[in-house]
Amino acid sequence: MIDSEPFYKKATLVLLGIILLVYVLFTLADILVPIAFSLLLAILLNPLNNKLMRLKVPKVLSILLTLLFALTVLGIILYLLSSQILQFGEMMPALKLKFTQILTNLQNYMETTFGVSIQKQTQFLKDAASSGKALVGRTVSSVLGIFSLLFLIPVYIFLFLLYKPLILNFLFEVFSSKNTRYVADILHETKTAIQSYIVGILIEASVVAVMNSAALMLLGVPYAILLGVIGAILNMIPYIGGVIAIALPVLMATVTKDGYSTQLGIIGAYALIQFIDNNILVPRIVSSKVQINALISILAVLLGGALWGVSGMFLSIPFVAVLKIIFDRLDYLKPWGKLLGDQIPETYPGQASSGPKVLTDKKTF
């Protein structure tokens, strides 16, 4: 019935639906963000849980052992970083004093050279700080968000693994029987893509963390391992995180060392690491798992950041990957799937029948 409606009516309905969806996602961010992370982690841990169940381990016990394994791995990582975290905390007063001195000198230089008053500079810094807090998002800042990180996410993971058959059965039954094959294919590809993507990005982050830490240690930057790991985590945000990751070690070198040679060394080392990451690690480890073009990836990260802060940046790529899998399976949505993908066609219907030769014709457009 809706297919017979004029285009402007259909476009209006779609636009209103998108607006309503975005409003709900933004309003319920504190609830939905932990659920989204829990679902991704549950899909990641599902193979281990299945393996334990094949070994005749009771279902509830296998889920608890799976969660214990994940928490153990996380605890080991935090333990290895704990010494540097404690030392960094002890050095915070001295670092803050040195940073204040550098900031004061920089403000005086800006006022003398460019005529920008210190009041305007201070207001600009306040605005930037408030924007940064908004980017981090409400999930971590609220009491419910902290509670979610400590308690709700493991509970959600447990429940997702426990009720997996119930959820899958619902997804099959909610669609007609003739679509069972499509639903099965979509679920299988979604599970495989998310598992491969998360494993790939964790491997990439581990390699980048090692390279970052080694470079910073060679340059004599304090807390090299901690900053290297933080940089690798930020690098998991496509295209944007790698740029942000450079700021922390450069700032640390500026506060703790004289001159600018160390800062230049950090920029050069991180540029080399980004080159290796973008041209060797990402194409072989990550991009082969989720085939989304760069334009859509950047837009998804920016939109995810505007909607859910940093959490949205991390979740945007898996979300778009799931959308692409669904679009590719439905005939009337296949053009959208192609738009999200990284396959660039050599021709398009508007071209002349002469074929690929038209690509070099200046009159194409």
Residue 361 in this model has a pLDDT that exceeds 50: no
Residue 330 in this model has a pLDDT that exceeds 50: yes
Of 55-59, 180-184, 249-253, the range with the lowest mean pLDDT is 180-184
Q: What is the pTM of this model?
A: 0.74
256 in a domain, yes or no?
Answer: no
* Average of per-residue pLDDT across 142-163: 76
Decide: 137 and 308 in contact? Cβ < 8 Å. Answer: yes
Give me the pLDDT at residue 358, please: 44
Residue 287 in this model has a pLDDT that exceeds 60: no
The residue among 24, 81, 30 whose CA lies nearest residue 311 is 30
Q: What range does the domain containing 147 cover? A: 1-79+123-177
25 in a domain, yes or no?
Answer: yes
Decide: 216 and 84 in contact? Cβ < 8 Å. Answer: no
3 in a domain, yes or no?
Answer: yes
38 in a domain, yes or no?
Answer: yes
305 in a domain, yes or no?
Answer: no
* Average of per-residue pLDDT across 96-109: 76
55 in a domain, yes or no?
Answer: yes
Chain-centre distance of CA 80, in angstroms?
Answer: 24
113 burial level (CB within 10 Å; 0-12, 13-18, 19+): exposed
Give me the pLDDT at residue 140, please: 47
Higher pLDDT, 29 or 87: 29
Give me the pLDDT at residue 343, please: 78
Give me the pLDDT at residue 238, please: 66
Residue 208 in this model has a pLDDT that exceeds 80: yes
5 in a domain, yes or no?
Answer: yes
88 in a domain, yes or no?
Answer: no
- The total number of structural domains in the chain stands at 1
pLDDT for 221-238, tens place per residue? 888 888 898 888 888 776
pLDDT for 124-144, tens place per residue? 767 665 655 555 554 444 445
